[in-house]
Amino acid sequence: DAGVTQSPTHLIKTRGQQVTLRCSPKSGHDTVSWYQQALGQGPQFIFQYYEEEERQRGNFPDRFSGHQFPNYSSELNVNALLLGDSALYLCASRTSGRNIQYFGAGTRLSVL
């Protein structure tokens, strides 16, 4: 049983560019959340998707957007990249109505 998988593992972009990160949830999970983890910090909640809709959003600008597909996989899009967007982006999945969230290994984004 595959856990949460994310792609790509590493990504280098320049300021102003756009990026798309992908996540496949753990089998049986229908809810996906995205977190940003800056170096030396705890993960910060970006948003959560369930039934293909954004259900909850953290304190992140509109440059951060997402999507969930019918197969529960999800994408995180970031437009107009800033140097401060450099971080590890983590995807977590769970079954709706249950607390336990499982994390993927993350995508390391570097903005130059």
Partner 1 sequence: GENVEQHPSTLSVQEGDSAVIKCTYSDSASNYFPWYKQELGKGPQLIIDIRSNVGEKKDQRIAVTLNKTAKHFSLHITETQPEDSAVYFCAASIRPGTASKLTFGTGTRLQVTL
- Which residues are at the interface with partner 1 (CB under 8 A)? 4, 31, 33, 35, 40-45, 48, 56, 58, 90, 92, 94, 96-106
Least Å distance, CB 73 to partner 1, is 17
Pick the closer one to partner 1 by CB: 2 or 100.
100
Query: For residue 3, what are the contacts with CB-CB under 8 A and spacing of at least 6?
Result: 26, 102, 104
Pick the closer one to partner 1 by CB: 66 or 104.
104
Pick the closer one to partner 1 by CB: 50 or 80.
50
Least Å distance, CB 56 to partner 1, is 6
Pick the closer one to partner 1 by CB: 16 or 102.
102
CA angle 10, 14, 16 (to 5 degrees): 125
CA angle 72, 70, 45 (to 5 degrees): 40
Least Å distance, CB 20 to partner 1, is 19
Task: DSSP letter for 75, please.
Answer: E
Among left, alpha and beta (phi > 0; psi -120 to 50; other), residue 101 is: beta
